[in-house]
Amino acid sequence: MSCAERTSAKQPIGVVLRARRLEVIKKGLREMAGELHIAPAHLTDLEKGRRTPSEDLLLRIAKAYRIAEAELRAGWARADHIVAQVANQDPVTAEKVPEFLRSARKLTPSQWDQIIRQAENMTKRPEK
């Protein structure tokens, strides 16, 4: 079973990471741990599901493993962190984010992509 097949079969994120490290990136445990600036034992714990990464480490893993941040957040049930961070940035946002998420529950992946593009366009700074 390839790494992509494991991911689509909803394997635990640690299993997906280990398979990707070995089959796609082709790096040993110590080498990858060094690249991530963590101890090999820490990486072992992540791959075996005994630990979850800090926010900073999650972002480093996404880059090193070339896995979407969203996939990692879902795998480690960490989406709540970014939602809380955004939702609590100011009172208006704290009110609007939950309302938005409730209304967006049944969006398709394509519709999510459209909303993301629209939000990116709305927040772009005008070029001088």
Whether 11 and 71 share a structural domain: yes
Whether 100 and 51 share a structural domain: no
The two three-digit tokens of residue 56, written as one number: 């900073």
Render each residue's pLDDT in the chain as its tens digit; 128 residues. Answer: 444 444 445 688 899 999 999 999 999 999 999 999 999 999 999 999 899 898 899 999 999 999 998 888 888 876 677 777 777 788 888 888 888 888 988 899 899 999 999 999 998 887 76
Stated length of the chain = 128
Separation of alpha carbons 35 and 21, rounded Å: 12
56 lies in a domain? yes
- Whole-structure pTM value: 0.60
pLDDT at position 9: 52
- Domain residue limits at 27: 3-78
pLDDT at position 1: 42
Determine how many CB atoms are found less than 10 A away from the CB of residue 65: 21
What CATH number does the domain containing 38 carry? 1.10.260.40
What pLDDT digit, counting tens, does each position of 67-100 carry?
Answer: 998 888 888 876 677 777 777 788 888 888 888 8
pLDDT at position 4: 45
Whether 73 and 114 share a structural domain: no
Whether 15 and 67 share a structural domain: yes
46 lies in a domain? yes
83 lies in a domain? no
Whether 53 and 29 share a structural domain: yes
The two three-digit tokens of residue 79, written as one number: 């989406």
Burial class (CB in 10 A: 0-12, 13-18, 19+), 37: exposed
Which DSSP symbol is given to 31? H
Whether 52 and 109 share a structural domain: no
112 lies in a domain? yes
Which DSSP symbol is given to 54? -
Whether 67 and 36 share a structural domain: yes
| DSSP string across 55-115 | HHHHHHHHHHHT--HHHHHHHTT-HHHHHHHHHTSSHHHHHHHHHHHHHTTT--HHHHHHH
Whether 106 and 68 share a structural domain: no
Q: How many domains does the chain divide into?
A: 2
